[in-house]
Amino acid sequence: MLAAVLLAVVLTSLLLASVNTYAAMKIIRTKELKFEFWSLPWFPQSDKAAEVIAKQLEEVGIKLELRRLESSVMYPKIENFEFQAYALATSQSPNPMGMVNSFHSSYCKPGIGSFWCHADPEVDELIDKVKTTTDKEILRKTLWKIQEKLAYESGFIPVYLTQSVKVIRAEWKNYTVMSGGLVEAYDIWSMLYMYKSDKPEENVFKIAFPSDILTLNPFMTVDLRSIWVINLIYDPLVRLDKDLNVVPWLAVSWEVSEDGKVYTFKLRKDVKWHDGEPFTADDVVFTFTEGIKQETSRFLGLKDIVERVEKVDDYTVRFVLKYPYPFFLVDLASGYYYIVPKHLVEGKDLKKWNNENPVGTGPFKFVKRVEGEYIVLEKNHEFWIKGVPKITKVIVKVIPDAQSRFLAIKTGEVDTERYDTPITLVEQAKKDPSLKVVKAPGIWLVYIAFNTYNFFYDPKVFEAIHYAINRTGIIEKANGGYGYPLYTILNEYWHKDLAAPLKFEYNPEKAKKILEEAGWVDIDGDGIREYVGPTLTPTTTTPTPTPTPSPTATATATPTPTAPSATAPVATVTKVVEETVVKTVVSTVEVIRTMFSTVTREVTSVVTDWTPTAVLSVVLLVIGIAIGYVVRRR
């Protein structure tokens, strides 16, 4: 009896709870579960996944119509919430707040760069709690709760984390493998301790970049290629070790105040700039104060966090925050905030500073840059950690073509490359004894997202999708098995125990059941589920006032952002004509662009195995010439 009452209470409260949580975001339903599904053709990790996902979801009655779009076309549309659903990848960082923050309702606005939208006051409250708590346990629990809620309720469905696979010449020893992959931008350890020979002059490390770096100005970096180079010349206050823990660097130690708002850093006293001047607290204060004040793109994110930075003495710096931010140290270590010399940079417009001759405190000194071709760095013999780096010279070489890059590694012209080696080339590298394949958790989180802002929001459908996709199968087909299934927005490879232990087993039957219970039933037998309401069973004939469930019906469901037609009819006509013309041009160009990139991708993926291809090519050439000869003779 008591048990029954308890059960009833629990059930009712659960029911109420579920009603409550879903009330936070407005339910928007389409007539049937049919979505235009966008994918980026030149990013195989998400593009091939999109194909597999569309196939798997079709089995449970959700139709995703795959359409390939170029990023420059797709991204603006996504940011303005003019889409239905898409598959893309987003980059991971050791700081979980980047990911978590994007689900705050303040980011649920078109035109500000948000790619997804979730507006739930409860989640907002939890995020605010995370931002200001100082207790580690509360922090972890709150983050878990956020992840769980988002997994069930947001239209953002994580699929997998890529595994980074890089090819390096086998003679190199003693490198560190960190999340993100070998010689990632913040990984200083490999660059310090790596060597291939006992003779220092032979330790020249050559790395191939697909294109030139954009800037040497640490305040305005937007690409990881530039950061990779800057990271060797300049030093940050703190760094991440190989397990992504914050460790001292230019700062030897730090103290955090009771309320978590004041960070006091003690600085190293034995550090010298490359030009011989000593490094002091003035440099740190200058870098942060000016970087934030001049609104440089790299330091702009600190504006909301840091109240002020002040010098206590020559080797002590105090950061006063606007609120107790628990990830401040992680942010300092992973946010690429490099300290610049005040005596050389003071008075410069940091946004326009092109820094042609960088002077830092880091393990390597800048030697020369030939734009579009090379960057050369040499060992800093006065570096403050004695005996390192082992590498005496670093050469960055620009090789635009992926095949040429791989060839250059094979012939020893370079030692490794900046980004992951394409999976098709990895198989070849495995056969070559002079090459080594190094694996690590990758940087890309592949996900699918629905437009919950103005197109579709039904959490039950999202839950069903979690069960309906076979993540290991997707990884196998999309990335040759190099990847880790993901279920929540944070993951153990980047955020350790902050990732919630939540899992959805592949179970299409369960997915179907959830959809049916939520009122999604295929009533017209076209394989796509229509909405009939949760009370109806499949056998009942439909008394719904929408009796024409033709496939074209969904087309009208697309929200058209038309302006109120209060203008004069003539103006409207010209506007319509104008719009049609622009639309036609736009879509034609889109088609051409997509075709071009798809063809290039397919062709290059064919031309991967070198020796047979070369032999085949030569044979084909000879046959062709022979045929031509015979034909002309006749």
Partner 1 sequence: MSLARFIAKKFFESAITVFIGVTVAFFLFRLLPGDPTAAFLDIRLSPEAKLKLIEEFGLNKPLWEQYFVFLANLLKGNLGLSFVYQGTPVTKLIFGPKLVNTVVLMGLGMFISALIATFLGLIVGWNRGSKLDRITTSVSYMATSAPIFWIGLLILLIFAGYLKLIPASGTVSVELIEADPLTRLADYLWHLVGPLIVIVIYFLPSYLLYVRNTVVGILGEDFIMVLKAKGLKDRAILFGHLLRFAMLTVVTLLALQSPLLVSGAIITETVFGWNGIGLLLYNSVLKSDYPVIQGIFILTIVVVVVANLLADIIHALIDPRIRFEGGRR
Residues 128-187 that bind partner 1 (CB under 8 A): none
Task: Characterize the bridge pairing of strands 246-248 and 238-240.
Answer: antiparallel
Q: By rule CB under 8 A, what string of x and - marks binding of each residue 8-47 to partner 1?
A: ----------------------------------------
By CB under 8 A, is residue 71 in contact with partner 1?
yes
Selected binder of partner 1 within 13, 354, 357, 567 (CB under 8 A): 354
Nearer to partner 1, 29 or 166 (CB): 166
DSSP symbols for 377-395: EEE-TT-SSTT-----EEE
436 binding partner 1? (CB under 8 A): no
* Residues 396 to 425 in contact with partner 1, rule: CB under 8 A: 397-401, 403-404, 407-408, 410-411, 413
Question: Contacting partner 1 (CB under 8 A), which of 76, 121, 527, 559?
Answer: 76
Task: Tell me the C-alpha to C-alpha distance, in Å, between residue 634 and each of 11, 623, 627.
Answer: 89, 17, 11
Binding test (CB under 8 A) with partner 1, winner from 50, 159, 224, 292: 224
Neighbours of 434 (CB within 10 A): 12
Residue with Cβ nearer partner 1 (196 or 225): 225
> Nearer to partner 1 by C-beta: 110 or 260?
110
Secondary structure (DSSP) of 165-180: EEEEETT-B-----TT
Instruction: Kindly state the smallest distance separating residue 117's Cβ from partner 1, in Å.
Output: 13
Pick from 9, 214, 312, 573: which binds partner 1 (CB under 8 A)? 214
Cis ω for the linkage preceding 459 (within 30 of 0): no
Interface region with partner 1, contact rule CB under 8 A, candidates 126-134, 215-223, 272-280, 559-567: 215-223
CA distance 525 to 519: 16
579 is a contact residue toward partner 1 (CB under 8 A)? no
The span from the CA of 529 to the CA of 32, in Å, is: 5
Interface pick for partner 1 out of 8, 14, 582, 595 (rule CB under 8 A): 582
Helices (H), 88-120: 97-101
Bridge partners (DSSP) of residue 66 are 37
Q: Which residues contact 105 (CB under 8 A, 6 or more apart)?
A: 118, 119, 120, 121, 123, 124
- The answer to whether the CB of 274 falls within 8 A of the CB of 234 is no
Residue located via tokens 């407005």: 26
Angstrom CA distances, 102 to 112, 117, 369, 383, 386, stand at 11, 8, 38, 39, 42
Q: Taking the CA of residue 375 as centre, how many other CA atoms within 13 Å lie in the half-sphere pointing to its CB?
A: 26
In whole angstroms, what is the distance from residue 232 CA to residue 360 CA? 9
Among 10, 11, 576, 621, which residue interacts with partner 1 (rule: CB under 8 A)?
A: 621
Rounded Cα–Cα distance for residues 207 and 167 (Å): 11
Least distance between partner 1 and beta carbon 160 (Å): 19
287-346: which residues touch partner 1 (CB under 8 A)?
A: 295, 297, 300-301, 303
3-state class of 483 per DSSP? strand
Determine which residue in the list 15, 252, 555, 589 makes contact with partner 1, applying CB under 8 A: 589
Work out whether 113 is an interface residue with partner 1 (CB under 8 A): yes
Instruction: Supply the minimum distance, in Å, between the C-beta of residue 22 and partner 1.
Output: 28
Please report, for residues 260, 293, 480, 568, 580, the alpha-carbon distance to residue 573 in angstroms, rounded to integers and kept in the order given.
Answer: 61, 49, 52, 9, 10
Judged by CB, which is closer to partner 1: 15, or 581?
581
Between 353 and 504, whose beta carbon lies closer to partner 1? 353
Q: Whose CA is closest to 405, among 429, 371, 432?
A: 429
Pairing of strands 374-379, 63-68: unpaired
Contact flag: residue 592 with partner 1 (CB under 8 A):
no
DSSP code for 449? E
The binding track of 532-571 with respect to partner 1, each residue x by CB under 8 A or -, is: ----------------------------------------
Candidates 1, 5, 276, 352: give the one binding partner 1 (CB under 8 A). 352
Nearer to partner 1, 188 or 408 (CB): 408
Q: Which of 8, 23, 617, 619 binds partner 1 (CB under 8 A)?
A: 617
* 142 versus 154: smaller Cβ distance to partner 1: 154
Q: Quick check: helix, strand or coil at residue 609?
A: coil
And the tokens for 535?
Answer: 């009370």
Nearer to partner 1, 332 or 468 (CB): 332
Contact assessment for residue 480 and residue 473, using Cβ atoms and an 8 Å cutoff: no
Cα separation values, 198 from 78, 162, 195, 421, Å = 53, 35, 8, 29
Report residue 585: phi and psi, to 5°. -60, -50
Chosen residue from 1, 2, 19, 72 binding partner 1 by CB under 8 A:
72
Segment contacting partner 1 (CB under 8 A): 274-282, 467-475, 483-491, 625-633? 625-633
At its nearest, how many Å lie between partner 1 and the CB of residue 429? 14
Q: Judged by CB under 8 A, which stretch of 195-203, 217-225, 253-261, 266-274 contacts partner 1?
A: 217-225
Q: Does 460 bind partner 1 (CB under 8 A)?
A: no
Q: How far is the CB of 80 from partner 1 (least distance, A)?
A: 10
**194-213 binders of partner 1 (CB under 8 A):** 211
**Member of 247, 370, 571, 595 binding partner 1 (CB under 8 A):** 370
The residue (of 177 and 408) whose beta carbon lies closer to partner 1 is: 408
Per CB under 8 A, the segment of 71-79, 232-240, 260-268, 557-565 that binds partner 1 is 71-79
State the residue for tokens 């939540």.
Answer: 502
- C-alpha 25 chain-centroid distance: 26
Residue 610 touches partner 1, criterion: CB under 8 A: yes
Matching residue, tokens 């610049």: 340
Binding mask 500-539 for partner 1 (x = CB under 8 A): ----------------------------------------
Applying CB under 8 A, which of residues 28, 256, 262, 376 lies at the interface with partner 1? 376
